[in-house]
Structure 1
Amino acid sequence: MSQSSQATRPKTPVSPPAGSAAGVGGMRRSNARYGILALLAIGTMINYLDRTILGIAAPQLTKELGISAAVMGVIFSMFSWSYVLAQIPGGLFLDRFGSKVTYFLSMTFWSLCTLAQGLVHGIGGLVAFRLGLGVSEAPCFPTNSRVVATWFPQSERAMATGTYTVGEYIGLAFFSPFLFALMGAFGWRSLFYVVGAVGIVFGAIWWMFYREPLDHKGANAAELAYIEEGGGLTHANKESGQKKKSGFEWRTIGRLLKHRQLTGICLGQFAGNSTLVFFLTWFPTYLATERHMGWLKIGFFAIMPFIAASVGVMFGGTFSDWLLRRGVSPNVARKLPIIAGLLLASTIILANYVDSNVAVIVILSVAFFAQGMAALGWTLVSDIAPDGLLGVTGGIFNFAANLAGIVTPLVVGFIVSATGSFVGALVFIGVVALIGALSYIFIVGDIKRIVLTEAHPHAD
């Protein structure tokens, strides 16, 4: 903590009286954590707009640059190659420098890479800036998870995770008509200019307003006590500008992966992300080529699944926390919405067997709603990560989860190129969702914090 902060704030959070939930000494609890959550939600919305506007631009961009479906699948996957490879280094950077610095640098550089994509005139430049985008965005979700674990008690973490996660879908749901209209009026390059500029501005806003709980003037002692009593503030004392070594060793990765909680949720998140990646990359092309929709119709129909996914995210998070507050075990409260969501997401296959465009959108909306329900994996990361290793644990989790960003665009691209149809692609997405549900049922096991010890490195 900074010297000025130490002069005005307690060096350690004050523990509340036993059984107290409202505050300390009758003090009304502040709600500064919700302002921090708003920052995360907006940042996540911009994050997903930056990584997915290539999917919106793709039908027009491919014609101008002469790119085939198979090559476009490779270009879509370029983001995830660098994103995945940068996960663990990004997590280490987060553990070393903290949330404020990491998120500011991440957002600023990914926004610059987005803006630069509007300047390209060939495949080489597009690939280079997609790779840069992936590296820059890598620390974002580990930072989100760290901020939630620091600022929120366990009983509110699924709600908090659902709130910032909904930003993934809200941006595309409500901005898609504007983005399609912008592209129709000014061309595909305008998308990258506008969204990139917005991200740069928000990076400055983050730097001005983000604080750790112990340094936040709006968080009173009652709120700090409430957060600490619920298991928050875990990482707070490791921030405040102190450049502290994380104690990381490369063998720690292997030791973490020997715990079934982490390996199981990694596989499950890969499955959920496969559905998400399809919607973020190939969905507009699917509507244009498989369903032969025009631009205005695509802009209208593209809203529906993203709105459904937004509702699914909030429902899944709220339902999970509701179960937890009523005494249901974390195993059921955290895993039930995810398992149900992944099972329901597999119904995307049914879109192959209907002719009506309305029926197709309904099926896809149900599947994406379900994927949103299943998007609680980051809550589990907050619950199981060892103290001081949330960044690297989140990096491992996001590494595995975002292998879907490599595999899915490539598989879909090659299937469409080889068959001229999306039928096999939807079957692939549905089967992977089923595998994810089975992972949560049979592999994950108990939801509890991993403890790494020298004497018992394999203990769960």
Structure 2
Amino acid sequence: MHRDGVGQAIDVGSSTVPRRVPTRFLVLGLIFIVTTMNYADRSSLSLVGSSLQTDLGFSSVQLGYIFSAFSWAYVVGQLPGGVLLDRFGARRVYGASIALWTVVTFALSFVGLVTLPVVVWVAVIFALRVLLGVFESPAFPANARVTMTWFPTAERGRATAIFNSAQYFATALFAPIMGWVTHEFGWRWVFVLLGVIGILLAALWLRWMRPPRDHSRLDAAELATMEAGGALVDLDTAGTTERRAPLNRTTIARIFSSRALWGVYVSQYAVNALTYFFITWFPVYLVKGRGLTLLEVGFVAALPALCGFLGGLAGGSVSDALLRRGAPLTAARKVPSVVGMALATAIAICSLTDSTALIIALMTLAFFGKGLGSLGWAITTDLAPPQAASFVGSTMNAFGNVAGIVTPIVIGYTVDATGSFDVALWFVALHGLLSIVAMAVMGPIRRIQLDPAT
């Protein structure tokens, strides 16, 4: 017997409830959709950035700071977001997060409706992007928490790769849509569209999402499979989060003394440097550096994104397949990561050619590799102690998203100083090598053990 969302007992074996698709896969589908919208909202400004820059008269340096605004707050918000998730669970915190970031995205549609000095609108957009970073900060730690709760260890690599690949799917899906909407109706309507979709998604999350033991659709057989495989099914069960002791100095010291976690932190920073180039300056590069129209950019940007998505799925699948065939956990996670980030360095070759077709092909290869190597969240779920699962995920995400501050600003200054993107492309490519070094430093991957009293 299980209980539905209002506490009513139901017969989980009843033939009246469809069981064709395992409930954990539907949960994964929902967090994939939420993450797709998360990245659509955070990347929307870059996809309309050239139009907004033309309409409001921003310089490249000002645009670089605007692009970085999200990450300043996103980084700072990680630790409070992780503490809230460990305390109150993913359902409540994530639901509020979706609703709030949607409101901020919708508010961007009002920018520029009255005539004000450029510096004022720069400040307004910067402030709205800061709020977006605050409200989106629990998202990926919540994804990792849901994955730890619902998926056995041998399925977790693929599960984390699927939700992480939503960042590429978001661009593949929304770049053409946003390009067309901007071309036909103007850039403001992009933010209106995202606002409407986001509110509907927040309502769906709060209505349907429940922890495993409280979910009306989960049957006893699937729950047993999850538990036997290492899923932490009671992580968010009603009452457990309220009873959990707060973080203390001993726990925090143990976490920050882990060499493996520091390897993840540095690797995730390197991976995200490529991510933030792609979701901030890449569309501008295609317009300003390659002479494409915004409508063309919408479709061209979808190609590397689609291959990044396929690479992400491949990385998780390969990792889990290696585990099933008896490979050590360390090798199963690191091999796809190293191969993928080696491929990602191909982005540097774009500075050596004037062929737009070759540049798109190289970007496609680089982002396939980046997707293949993006196993940081899987490694984090393998390392994190249950007592501080979201704190560890948030810490990793905070370090990783420092790249969202550094990358847009560095590129803004280099483009402004040199008049081209050549230096910027080498800067981004070197992060692929940095990730490989971090994997070597990481050492063995095994779950961090805390004192039971912590």
The answer to whether the 8 Å contact 2:181/2:189 transfers is: yes
| Displacement of 1:29 | 9.3
- d(CA) in 2 for partners of 1:241 and 1:46? 30
The answer to whether the 8 Å contact 1:97/1:241 transfers is: no
Q: Name 2:117's counterpart in structure 1.
A: none
Q: In structure 1, what residue type is equivalent to 2:24?
A: R
Local SS of the residue matching 2:134: helix
Pairing 1:38–2:36 present: no
| Displacement of 1:9 | 8.1
The answer to whether the 8 Å contact 2:3/2:216 transfers is: no
Which of residues 57, 79, 103 is equivalent to 2:70? 79
Q: After alignment, is 234-243 or 262-271 more displaced? A: 234-243
1:57-72 matches, within 5 Å, as 57-72=48-63
Q: Name 2:115's counterpart in structure 1.
A: none
Over residues 71-101 of structure 1, what are the superposed CA-to-partner deviations in whole Å (9 max), with x where a residue is unaligned?
1111111100000001000000001110100
Q: Name 1:202's counterpart in structure 2.
A: 201
Give the direction of change, closer, same or farther, for the CA distance of 1:252–1:414 in structure 2 (3 Å limit): farther
- d(CA) in 2 for partners of 1:8 and 1:189? 47
Q: Name 2:442's counterpart in structure 1.
A: 444
Q: Name 2:118's counterpart in structure 1.
A: none
Q: Name 1:181's counterpart in structure 2.
A: 180
- d(CA) in 2 for partners of 1:77 and 1:117? 16
| Displacement of 1:32 | 0.7
Q: Name 1:311's counterpart in structure 2.
A: 310
Local SS of the residue matching 2:331: helix
Q: Name 1:370's counterpart in structure 2.
A: 369
Local SS of the residue matching 2:327: coil
- d(CA) in 2 for partners of 1:234 and 1:4? 17
| Displacement of 1:236 | 3.0
Over residues 5-37 of structure 1, what are the superposed CA-to-partner deviations in whole Å (9 max), with x where a residue is unaligned?
888489xxxxxxxxxxxxxxxxx9971101111
Q: In structure 1, what residue type is equivalent to 2:399?
A: A
Q: In structure 1, what residue type is equivalent to 2:434?
A: I
- d(CA) in 2 for partners of 1:354 and 1:30? 48
| Displacement of 1:306 | 0.4
What percent of counterpart residues are identical?
A: 38
- d(CA) in 1 for partners of 2:61 and 2:4? 57
Q: Name 2:80's counterpart in structure 1.
A: 89
- d(CA) in 2 for partners of 1:205 and 1:430? 39
| Displacement of 1:452 | 2.4
| Displacement of 1:241 | 8.1
- d(CA) in 2 for partners of 1:433 and 1:242? 38
Local SS of the residue matching 2:243: coil
- d(CA) in 2 for partners of 1:4 and 1:354? 58
Q: Name 1:326's counterpart in structure 2.
A: 325
The answer to whether the 8 Å contact 1:82/1:134 transfers is: yes
- d(CA) in 2 for partners of 1:300 and 1:400? 32
1:32-431 matches, within 5 Å, as 32-121=23-112, 122-236=121-235, 238-239=237-238, 243-250=242-249, 252-431=251-430
Give the direction of change, closer, same or farther, for the CA distance of 1:8–1:272 in structure 2 (3 Å limit): same
Local SS of the residue matching 1:196: helix
Q: Name 2:14's counterpart in structure 1.
A: none
Q: Name 1:17's counterpart in structure 2.
A: none
Give the direction of change, closer, same or farther, for the CA distance of 1:412–1:251 in structure 2 (3 Å limit): farther
Give the direction of change, closer, same or farther, for the CA distance of 1:96–1:104 in structure 2 (3 Å limit): same
Give the direction of change, closer, same or farther, for the CA distance of 1:237–1:356 in structure 2 (3 Å limit): closer
Give the direction of change, closer, same or farther, for the CA distance of 1:254–1:406 in structure 2 (3 Å limit): farther
Give the direction of change, closer, same or farther, for the CA distance of 1:157–1:242 in structure 2 (3 Å limit): closer
| Displacement of 1:177 | 1.3
Q: Name 1:24's counterpart in structure 2.
A: none
Give the direction of change, closer, same or farther, for the CA distance of 1:239–1:365 in structure 2 (3 Å limit): farther
The answer to whether the 8 Å contact 2:62/2:122 transfers is: no
Give the TM-score normalised by the residue count of structure 1: 0.91
Local SS of the residue matching 1:347: helix
The answer to whether the 8 Å contact 1:346/1:433 transfers is: yes
The answer to whether the 8 Å contact 1:384/1:447 transfers is: yes
| Displacement of 1:284 | 0.6
- d(CA) in 2 for partners of 1:44 and 1:69? 29
Count of residues paired in the alignment? 438
Q: In structure 2, what residue type is equivalent to 1:210?
A: M
Over residues 218-273 of structure 1, what are the superposed CA-to-partner deviations in whole Å (9 max), with x where a residue is unaligned?
21111111111111025435546853344212553332121011110110011011
The answer to whether the 8 Å contact 1:29/1:223 transfers is: no
| Displacement of 1:65 | 1.4
Give the direction of change, closer, same or farther, for the CA distance of 1:196–1:454 in structure 2 (3 Å limit): same
Q: In structure 2, what residue type is equivalent to 1:293?
A: L
- d(CA) in 2 for partners of 1:245 and 1:36? 24
| Displacement of 1:433 | 1.4
Q: Which segments of structure 1 move beyond 6 Å, counting only runs of 4 or more?
A: 1-7
- d(CA) in 1 for partners of 2:229 and 2:4? 27
- d(CA) in 2 for partners of 1:342 and 1:4? 43
Give the direction of change, closer, same or farther, for the CA distance of 1:251–1:439 in structure 2 (3 Å limit): same
- Structure 2's unaligned 5+ residue stretches are 12-18, 113-120
- d(CA) in 2 for partners of 1:347 and 1:195? 33
| Displacement of 1:356 | 1.1
Q: After alignment, is 188-197 or 138-147 more displaced? A: 188-197
Give the direction of change, closer, same or farther, for the CA distance of 1:210–1:7 in structure 2 (3 Å limit): closer
Over residues 164-220 of structure 1, what are the superposed CA-to-partner deviations in whole Å (9 max), with x where a residue is unaligned?
122111121022112101001111111111112211110000011101111112211
Q: In structure 1, what residue type is equivalent to 2:423?
A: G
The answer to whether the 8 Å contact 1:214/1:236 transfers is: no
Give the direction of change, closer, same or farther, for the CA distance of 1:336–1:104 in structure 2 (3 Å limit): same
Q: In structure 1, what residue type is equivalent to 2:225?
A: Y
The answer to whether the 8 Å contact 2:68/2:408 transfers is: yes
